[in-house]
Amino acid sequence: MRKIPNHGTLRMTKVAYPLGLCLGLFIYVVYIKWHRASATQAFFTIAGAASGARWGQQARNSLGSAIRGHEVFYGIMFDAGSTGTRVHVFQFAQPPGETPTLTHETFKALKPGLSAYADDVEKSAQGIQELLDVAKQEIPFDFWKVTPLVLKATAGLRLLPGEKAHKLLQKVKEVFKASPFLVGDDCVSIMNGTDEGVSAWITVNFLTGSLKTPGRSSVGMLDLGGGSTQITFLPRVEGTLQASPPGHLTALQMFNRTYKLYSYSYLGLGLMSARLAILGGVEGKPVKDGKDLVSPCLSPSFKGEWEHAEITYRISGQKAGSLYELCASRVSEVLRNKVHRTEEVKHVDFYAFSYYYDLAASVGLIDAEKGGSLVVGDFEIAAKYVCRTLETQPHSSPFVCMDLTYITLLLQEFGFPRDKVLKLTRKIDNVETSWALGAIFHYIDSLNREKSPALK
C-alpha cells in the first residue's frame, strides 16, 4: 500500500474528523480551484476569438494575463452567404506554448441565404435559431457563457441596399443577444470581400500544414460563391507585387509572421450574379413588361423561370449555331476588363472550392464525395461536350453549359493555363474548407499578439 503523507489533522472547534472525510474535503477543494482556474483560462482564450468586441469591464478583469495549460475551448461562426446560412461550431485545444489545434468541427447549412428575407426580416429568425440549437447540442452547458458567437455576412448582403442589409443584421443581433452564448457589440457584420479571401487562405494553409512549418511553400485559394469570387495567394516574385493594382495586396500577421498576400474579391462575378449578367439582367431589377431574358448559353428549345435574389425571371434559349462558341462569346463580354491577370499563378499550387467543386462533381470530373484534382482545360472539355449535347437534347440543369463555360473563361482570365492542375475539395482532414476557421484563428492570434508585446 502506498504511504499517504501526514499533512496534519483538520480541526474545527477542536473536533477531529475521520481521515476519509478529510481526504474527501481536500479533493473537493482542489477540484473547485481547478475548475475555476480552467474556466478563467478558457474565458480568456475564447473571448479573444471575437477580436474588437467589447465584453465589459467585469469580464476583462476576470481574464488571465496569459494562456496556461492545455485548454479546451469553443467558437461559433455563422457564414451568411448569398445562397445559404451555415454554422460552424469549432472545438479547439491549445497545448502550452503552441498554436491552437482544431479537435472537432460541427457544420450545418440552411437555404435560402439571409438576403432572401430582405423584405420580411422576421422570417430570418427561425433559421438562425435552428442553427443556434445545433451549437447548443454540440457545446457543453458549462461553456455556453464563454463561447463567442459571431456572424459574418458575405456577398449576398453586400449586394443588398444598405437599409435592408442593416435591418437583417439587427434582427440576427436580437436573436444572438437572447442566446446563452457570449456576444459582443459587433457580433454580426458584413464581411469585407478581401477578408473573406484571406480567411479562406488561412484555413487551407493551416489545414495543409503550411502555416505551422516555416519555409514550407504555401498554397493559393480560389473560391467561387454565388455573389462574388475570390483569389488569394502568397507572391514569391517581386514583379507580382509591383504589378498588382491598388487594393489587390494586403498584409497579414499570423503566428509571429507577416505575410504580404495577393488577394482580391470580385463582387458580382460569383456564379449566380454571373448568370444574371450573362442573361442580360441587372442585379436587383425585374425585367420590364415581364419579357424573357434570352441567352445563347441555354438550350435553343428551353423556356422556363429562374429565381435570383427574390426576383423571378422568365428565361429562354435562342436558336443559333454552335452553343459553346456563342456562349463563350457572351461570357467574354461579361468578363472583359473585369479581372486582373497574374503570371505567377502558373507556378503556385491552388485549391478551388464551392461552385468550382460543385460543377466539376456534377459532370463527373471529380468524385462527388472525395473531390480530386483536374486541369483547367478539363472544364473547357466538359463545357464543349455539354453545350453540344444541349443543342439536341435537354439536360437536368438548364444552366450547366453556361456555368461550365463561365468557369472556363474565368480561370483563363485569372491567368491559369489549360494544363494547370487544381485541387478541388470540400474538406481537408475532415474539416470544411471555408473562411470560417481562418477567421477564428486570426482572432486568436490577434489576441495573443495584444497580450504578448514581443509578438507584435
pLDDT band at 160 (very low <50, low <70, confident <90, very high): confident
pLDDT exceeds 50 at position 288:
yes
CA 332 to chain centroid, in Å, comes to: 29
The residue-averaged pLDDT of 15-19 equals 38
Residue 292, all three cell numbers: 424573357
Q: Is 64 annotated as a binding residue?
A: no
Give percent of the chain above pLDDT 70: 80
pLDDT exceeds 80 at position 320:
no
Instruction: Look up the pTM and report it.
Output: 0.74
Residue 63, all three cell numbers: 481574464
Q: What pLDDT was estimated at residue 41?
A: 38
Q: Give the CA count within 13 Å in the CB-facing half-sphere of 74.
A: 23
Q: What pLDDT was estimated at residue 201?
A: 95
pLDDT exceeds 50 at position 293:
yes
The residue-averaged pLDDT of 163-179 equals 95
pLDDT exceeds 70 at position 11:
no
Between the alpha carbon of residue 410 and those of residues 59, 324, 328, the distances in Å are 48, 15, 11
pLDDT band at 26 (very low <50, low <70, confident <90, very high): very low
Give percent of the chain above pLDDT 90: 54
Q: What are phi and psi of 442, to 5 degrees?
A: -65, -40
Q: Which of 42-51, 66-75, 142-151 has the highest mean pLDDT?
A: 142-151
Q: Are 225 and 159 in contact (CB under 8 A)?
A: no
Q: What pLDDT was estimated at residue 349?
A: 96
Q: Are 438 and 206 in contact (CB under 8 A)?
A: yes
pLDDT exceeds 70 at position 446:
no
398-411 pLDDT tens trace = 999 999 999 999 99
Contacts of 256 (CB under 8 A, 6+ apart): 455
Catalytic residue among 105, 122, 174, 196: 196
Top pLDDT among 209 and 63 is at 209
Nearest Cα to Cα of residue 84 among 115, 106, 62: 115
The residue-averaged pLDDT of 145-162 equals 86
The residue-averaged pLDDT of 248-271 equals 91
Between the alpha carbon of residue 205 and those of residues 34, 305, 375, the distances in Å are 35, 41, 21
CA 134 to chain centroid, in Å, comes to: 18
Rounded Cα–Cα distance for residues 269 and 244 (Å): 19
Q: Which of 92-96, 291-295, 319-323, 440-444 has the highest mean pLDDT?
A: 291-295
Cβ-in-10-Å burial (0-12, 13-18, 19+) of 243 comes to middle
pLDDT band at 444 (very low <50, low <70, confident <90, very high): low
Top pLDDT among 95 and 270 is at 270
- In DSSP terms, which residues pair with 313 in a beta bridge? 306
Rounded Cα–Cα distance for residues 433 and 102 (Å): 13
Q: Are 115 and 156 in contact (CB under 8 A)?
A: yes
pLDDT exceeds 50 at position 134:
yes
Rounded Cα–Cα distance for residues 78 and 197 (Å): 16
Q: Is 162 annotated as a binding residue?
A: no
pLDDT exceeds 90 at position 64:
no
Q: Is 48 annotated as a binding residue?
A: no
Lowest-confidence region among 20-29, 91-100, 335-344, 347-356: 20-29
Q: Is 316 annotated as a binding residue?
A: no
- Is residue 130 annotated as part of the catalytic site, yes or no? no
Q: What pLDDT was estimated at residue 9?
A: 31
pLDDT band at 452 (very low <50, low <70, confident <90, very high): low
Q: What pLDDT was estimated at residue 395?
A: 67
Q: Is 433 annotated as a binding residue?
A: no
The residue-averaged pLDDT of 83-111 equals 86
Residue 81, all three cell numbers: 452567404
189-216 pLDDT tens trace = 898 888 889 999 999 998 888 887 766 7
Lowest-confidence region among 20-34, 98-112, 426-440: 20-34
pLDDT exceeds 90 at position 223:
yes
The residue-averaged pLDDT of 281-310 equals 88
CA angle 210, 216, 222 (to 5 degrees): 50
pLDDT exceeds 50 at position 396:
yes
Top pLDDT among 248 and 50 is at 248
Q: Which of 121-135, 155-169, 317-331, 427-441 has the highest mean pLDDT?
A: 121-135
